[in-house]
């Protein structure tokens, strides 16, 4: 049985959302607080951070929202007193160094040419109890509007292409959502394709 879509409103995140966002990450048992792609240490240092100081990630996200160095959108559930039930980061390639510089994506031809005005969906987190109810789709739709407002000319996405992974592992968003919103595959390497939508 498929659950009915939940009614959400999506808007750009602000510093005022920091505490509610932190609570969402806690409910989802996601200790990274959207810091992995911009973390400057190596993998061992990241594992140490996650094991011993995950609260630093929450502090950093709040600080970045206050300073405007991290952008994204939040989804608020209308029938739950506008509680934040979804988050998605929107970043430029230079802000997501571990993503674009990772072994799966570094130096791909699809990233050549003029990269000005290119943004990427850096993560996508949905309240665990509300997954598969349209929140993720609403977040990506909201990201496109947010990107246009920021003057973006294209948005890239890095979904997990495999279908045999849990909802919790789809932390870059399901590929089907991007395809439904008009993203095109620009690098097809299963299970890690690169999709792009020109604005």
Q: So what's the pLDDT on residue 135? A: 94
Phi and psi for 148 in degrees, rounded to 5?
A: -60, -40
The token pair at 58 is 């929450």
pTM above 0.95, yes or no: no
Domain 8-198 has CATH 3.20.20.70: no
Q: So what's the pLDDT on residue 84? A: 96
At 196 the three-state DSSP class reads strand
Contact 58, 17 (CB under 8 A): no
Which of 139, 108, 104 minimizes the C-alpha distance to 125? Answer: 139
Q: So what's the pLDDT on residue 18? A: 95
The residues of the chain scoring below 70 in pLDDT are 1-2, 161-169
Distance CA 199, CA 183 (A): 10
Q: So what's the pLDDT on residue 161? A: 65
């Amino acid at each position: 049985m498929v659950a009915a879509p939940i009614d959400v409103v999506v808007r750009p995140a602000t510093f005022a959302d920091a505490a509610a966002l932190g609570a969402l990450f806690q409910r989802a048992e996601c200790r990274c607080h959207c810091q992995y792609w911009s973390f400057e240490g190596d993998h061992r240092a990241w594992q140490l951070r996650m094991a011993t100081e995950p609260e630093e990630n929450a502090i950093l996200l709040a600080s970045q929202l206050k300073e405007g160095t991290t952008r994204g959108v939040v989804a608020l559930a209308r029938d739950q007193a506008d509680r934040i039930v979804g988050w998605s980061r929107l970043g430029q390639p230079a802000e997501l160094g571990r993503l674009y510089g990772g072994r799966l994506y570094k130096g791909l031809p699809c990233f050549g040419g003029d990269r000005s005005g290119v943004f990427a969906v850096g993560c996508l987190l949905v309240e665990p109890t509300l997954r598969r109810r349209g929140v993720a789709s609403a977040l990506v739709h909201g990201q496109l509007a947010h990107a246009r407002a920021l003057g973006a000319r294209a948005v890239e996405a890095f979904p997990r292409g495999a279908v045999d992974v849990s909802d919790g592992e789809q932390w870059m968003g399901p590929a089907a959502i991007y395809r439904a919103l008009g993203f095109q595959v620009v690098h097809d390497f299963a299970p890690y394709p690169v999709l792009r939508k020109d604005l």
